[in-house]
Structure 1
């Protein structure tokens, strides 16, 4: 047979084979979609999952279906109870957007107000975060780490229930605006210098506890939106979806870089896939400097010469000129703070955010330095 004709016939055959596969897959997907169409989008039919019990929070052991360490003894809540508590996951109750899932404010049948994170139903992302949160928050308890109250496993659904933080996130307090009674947009009441130092100090204590726990935990995504504030403006570290426990060393090998631009240490950006405690320290240093300057680390802004500059570059330049007070957030009353204290705080932040990871302090050393300042 002529080679050209043979090639044409092979191409035609391949085309029909691929077309047949696409049609078959479409029919299967259509059938599954039809089966699901009996329930409203985003809702859950508890009658099809008799293993779920509508009892609010109660302590039971996690079975194999939960896909993580069965030795953990955690609280479980039914999907129907969550639907009732969130009004079927109403958008009106969304209070945050965590990694791989939305967070809702909910009131359980016991009248307890909680935060409910409904993870992505993506088989990989949702399950990975679910396991990470369980393997970390399911084991540790500290006043400055968000408390995991319970969970829900129902079909492909993975839901985590946490204590609710009345004052939202540090990110909201630094940057969010509110709509006043007249309809005009106005700035949220800004945090005082003392409150900001209290926030970073309590954050440092939570991170120190994690790094010095029996099996050290690396958070890998310390940033302002993952620092939640209670009614007293104490920090609670949240969102452990990227966290890793480490065994026998101070690093964890990962196949991909994790974190948020602006907070990521240079070794991560330059291609290192080792998640380390010094990496967390760097992120903490950037966050500390962000908290006292009121400037996002990831967004450029005009420098003195009008050219765009980013936070760390700007701070290093200002420090060379000893212009510490000028870097403090303009909303803070300068008369209430000592310049010597401001210098000390900036120096701690810069030591943590040192580009050389070996020269960064430990979080234990950071806590000790901050305690001396506020004493």
Structure 2
């Protein structure tokens, strides 16, 4: 027994000596080397796990991007309009303009603005949980969806830029091509413009107005998703480098003018409350491949109730297009848009900018120059020289008269947009003035 005890004690002493003995690896003891190896194995296992996780996420993103291929309709098929009961609608019923049925425009979007995924549906509408909220003002898009559609808001996708923000082209997962306006958040301006655009055209559908497909309200981000119009804007075609002969013939220019007038007539006369655009100009008239005009950019629009013929508001708009009474007093009504349309119509006819400081002193202001030419009986000389085939004298005189009536300094003498449509489409001169009719 004594021998066995001595043998065990010797064995333990030998094992302890081996563990504490120094090794050739940096002269470290054996137990330190073992601890380092264990830590290395743990780190390798953690690294492998992270790599697998990243690979899995990357595959999911690729699958989502691949889904965006296919046919390219101009308008998303995922738009859904949910009808909301409104006591006002029940009292007034449906209004008609032409063959199109019009319903009241949305009054409030305060609760809609801050809807985010996971925060519930504050509009009171139920969601089936299968996807983004679909409400009466278009489809709700997540920030991730729009990032994928615009390739991470790539500079290569930029199709427009201004003080309001940046517009990107994008392709949604269903293949729809859209225009995504990312509003700049300057002192709450993005929030204000977001509310105005959704209120003004959220439920409006008209062939001469750019359609609002949906929106994104996530955190501080405010984005609007529109149908994509693939032929630029009127300003580019009027003032860009188009060569010695403009592709905008007289007939095409009249088609654009009539389409714009119809869109404005719908806003003024087909909706309740009516909408005053406040920023009618050539860069806000988008064109498709068939030269159909679509009025865009409702960020400055104002909703006016039928009981108020005008309202005092902060003067906003683009220099050269703003009605003089609005600029001086801030009094706003549909006549302000009519004046701006008159300036736009002059621009379409002449190919000149409303304000052009490169012209001689008497020609810098388009309205003043235009009036002077008409008074001097030189109306035929105002037509854009880039138009290859000059218009018939009778048609030209009719359009010149429409211009003069639209820019009348007396707002009450300006025609309504619906009347302007008839005047531009008529084969003979416009209807006689109210004073002559009264006689």
Sort the TM-score into its range (normalised by shorter chain): 0.7 to 0.9
| Alignment of structure 1 residues 1-375 onto 2, 5 Å | 59=80, 64=111, 66-67=113-114, 70=123, 73=136, 74-97=138-161, 100-177=164-241, 189-212=246-269, 213-247=271-305, 248-254=307-313, 256-270=314-328, 272-303=329-360, 308-335=363-390, 337-373=391-427
Q: Distance in 2 between matches of 1:330 and 1:365?
A: 29
Q: 1:281 to 1:332 in 2, by over 3 A?
A: same
SS of the residue 1:64 aligns to: helix
- For the aligned residues, what is the CA RMSD? 2.6
The Cα shift of 1:111 comes to: 1.2
The Cα shift of 1:300 comes to: 3.4
Q: Distance in 1 between matches of 2:318 and 2:80?
A: 35
The Cα shift of 1:98 comes to: 5.0
TM-score normalised to the size of structure 1?
0.77
Q: Distance in 1 between matches of 2:283 and 2:318?
A: 11
Identify unmatched segments of 5+ residues in structure 1: 1-53, 179-185
Note if contact 1:98-1:239 (Cα within 8 Å) is conserved in structure 2.
Answer: no
Q: Distance in 2 between matches of 1:83 and 1:187?
A: 41
SS of the residue 2:426 aligns to: helix
Q: 1:119 to 1:372 in 2, by over 3 A?
A: same
SS of the residue 1:249 aligns to: coil
| Larger Rg, first or second structure (1 or 2) | 2
The aligned residue for residue 33 of structure 1 is: none
Note if contact 2:284-2:297 (Cα within 8 Å) is conserved in structure 1.
Answer: yes
The Cα shift of 1:188 comes to: 8.7
The aligned residue for residue 11 of structure 1 is: none
Q: Distance in 1 between matches of 2:181 and 2:389?
A: 39
SS of the residue 1:177 aligns to: coil
Q: 1:307 to 1:199 in 2, by over 3 A?
A: closer
Q: Once the two structures are superposed, what CA deviation does each residue of 1:172-196 show, in whole Å capped at 9, x if it has no partner?
A: 1111237xxxxxxx57953111000
Q: Distance in 1 between matches of 2:428 and 2:221?
A: 45
The Cα shift of 1:84 comes to: 1.0
Note if contact 1:129-1:241 (Cα within 8 Å) is conserved in structure 2.
Answer: yes
TM-score normalised to the size of structure 2?
0.66
SS of the residue 2:232 aligns to: coil
Q: Give the number of aligned pairs.
A: 311
Q: 1:267 to 1:63 in 2, by over 3 A?
A: closer
Q: 1:103 to 1:149 in 2, by over 3 A?
A: same
Q: Distance in 1 between matches of 2:322 and 2:370?
A: 17
Structure with bigger strand share is 1
Q: Distance in 2 between matches of 1:134 and 1:374?
A: 40
The Cα shift of 1:106 comes to: 0.9
The Cα shift of 1:283 comes to: 0.2
Note if contact 1:290-1:297 (Cα within 8 Å) is conserved in structure 2.
Answer: yes
The aligned residue for residue 48 of structure 1 is: none
The Cα shift of 1:137 comes to: 1.0
Q: Once the two structures are superposed, what CA deviation does each residue of 1:103-128 show, in whole Å capped at 9, x if it has no partner?
A: 11111111111111000122410001
Q: 1:60 to 1:158 in 2, by over 3 A?
A: farther
Q: Distance in 1 between matches of 2:213 and 2:224?
A: 8
Q: Once the two structures are superposed, what CA deviation does each residue of 1:196-228 show, in whole Å capped at 9, x if it has no partner?
A: 000000110110011012211100000001111
